Amino acid sequence: MVTLCKPAVAVPEYVITMEETLELCRARHAGHPQLPLALRLIGNTGVTRRHIVQPIEETLKHPGFEERNALYEAEAKARVPAVVKEALHNAGLRPTDIDMIVYVSCTGFMMPSLTAWLINSMGFPSHTRQMPIAQLGCAAGGAAVNRAHDFCTAYPDANVLIVACEFCSLCYQPTDLGVGSLLSNGLFGDAVASAVVRGRGGTGIALERNNSYLVPDTEDWIAYSVRATGFHFLLDKRVPGTMEPLAPALRELAGDHGWDAGDLDFYIIHAGGPRILDDLSHFLEVPPEEFRFSRSTLTQYGNIASAVVLDAVRRLFEEGGLKEGARGILAGFGPGITAEMCLGRWTNGHPAYEPDLNARRIVGYASRRPAPARTAA
């Protein structure tokens, strides 16, 4: 049984409230012809506060892409290890029990990926597989869960560590003045999240089925324009309406599994904005309260990109979990327009997989030693 265990989530210490965001927008864009629209859109997000890796005074500066990316790397190395340790503790595992690390981030760039640094600095085995995912944006949280599910299905003794590191504030571009950019400036926040997917044992969401779906001809609706000044986020005004074509994909995934997507026990949905949750409530015919975990993440942290779904799962755990066998869906949405979806049941724990402390775990490799010679009876 492949199980997504309790995630660990950390947000930076610097906070900007909704009131401060609106006041900054008024002060910096006083002559903007669409300022009233931008203020209304930001206010309608329902985001009360966001956490950022620098004081807002520093965030509003643009020292250049090189310096920003260096800050991304420094902040990732400073903040990720503690979250990883907590996630391992939640799963009852050690670094030596991990067979693959899936690292997702769309707000900075490193090569080699942070996975190499984690392996070298935190005691993960040198044969740990690395799967960095950089270009799925907010959908990458769901993709990370799905790729971990696939790996543990192929190798049932395996364990996968997921890490989502998103410092959206480092992508702020002071010269981007479109309404979509102004809205983004009031919507996105920073966070680091981590979780373990166990091939055997563990308490959490026992993953059963996953799938992806791409809405045709929407690849330019959410995008980066990569320039000398860094990543410029492009957000089309049609994006809030994407749940109409995506809700049927959720229904199809559930239907193929013999479930009704409108009659499940829990919903972990990427909260890109309030309309996503409102529309899914309508199209799936689900009470709005069913999206409370995702809405809480949006309200308290803003859109934290790929980390949203992991934080929503954390909130499910902290509410007390669910009864054994409770059915649910997890979905992340992002550029493409892409949906990464999976189905699972709540499990309150099964006998944990206990690795041989004296064994060198290399899951998925066949022995290269020749088979012993057979002797005649």
> What pLDDT, in 10s, does the model give residues 135-158?
999 999 999 999 999 999 999 999
Domain annotation covers residue 60 = yes
Domain annotation covers residue 129 = yes
The pLDDT tens digits of the residues spanning 90-134 come to 999 999 999 999 999 999 999 999 999 999 999 999 999 999 999
Domain annotation covers residue 341 = yes
Looking from the CA of 236 toward its CB, the CA atoms found within 13 Å total: 15
Residues 290, 189 within the same domain: no
Domain annotation covers residue 119 = yes
**DSSP tag of 46:** -
Residues 140, 287 within the same domain: no
* pLDDT of the residue at 271: 83
pTM of the predicted structure, to 2 decimals: 0.91
Residues 195, 259 within the same domain: no
The number of domains in the chain is 2
* pLDDT of the residue at 225: 87
The position carrying tokens 């957000």 is 235
Flag whether pLDDT at 207 surpasses 70: yes
Domain annotation covers residue 370 = no
Q: Pick from 142, 166, 201: which residue ends a domain?
A: 201
The pLDDT tens digits of the residues spanning 275-286 come to 889 999 999 999
* pLDDT of the residue at 116: 97
- pLDDT bin (cut points 50, 70, 90) of residue 360 is low
Mean pLDDT in residue range 178-188: 90
Alpha helices in 92-199 (DSSP H): 114-122, 140-154, 179-185
Distance CA 198, CA 91 (A): 8
Domain annotation covers residue 363 = no
Domain annotation covers residue 352 = no
Residues 152, 14 within the same domain: yes
Range of the domain at 94: 3-201
Q: DSSP assignment of 78-116, as one string?
A: HHHHHHHHHHHHHHT--GGG--EEEEE-SS---SS-HHH
Q: Which of 5, 138, 168, 171 is catalytic?
A: 138
Q: Which amino acid is at 71?
A: L
Residues 191, 228 within the same domain: no
Q: Which of 329, 359, 7 is nearest to 197 (CA)?
A: 7
Residues 150, 230 within the same domain: no
Q: Pick from 160, 186, 201: which residue ends a domain?
A: 201
Residues 209, 188 within the same domain: no
Number of other residues whose CB lies within 10 A of the CB of residue 176: 17
Flag whether pLDDT at 242 surpasses 80: yes
Residues 48, 181 within the same domain: yes
**Residue 74's CATH number:** 3.40.47.10
Residues 241, 191 within the same domain: no
Q: Pick from 201, 235, 262: which residue ends a domain?
A: 201
Cα 216 to Cα 219, 323, 338, 339, distances in angstroms: 8, 38, 9, 12
Flag whether pLDDT at 186 surpasses 80: yes
Residues 48, 10 within the same domain: yes
Q: DSSP assignment of 3-21, as one string?
A: EE---EEE--SEEEEHHHH
Top-confidence residue, 330 or 233: 330
Q: Which residues lie across from 369 on neighbouring strands?
A: none
Please, are residues 194 and 84 in contact by the beta-carbon 8 Å criterion? yes
Domain annotation covers residue 368 = no
The position carrying tokens 């009233």 is 36
The pLDDT tens digits of the residues spanning 218-231 come to 998 888 888 988 89
Residues 68, 126 within the same domain: yes
Residues 133, 151 within the same domain: yes
342 a catalytic residue? no
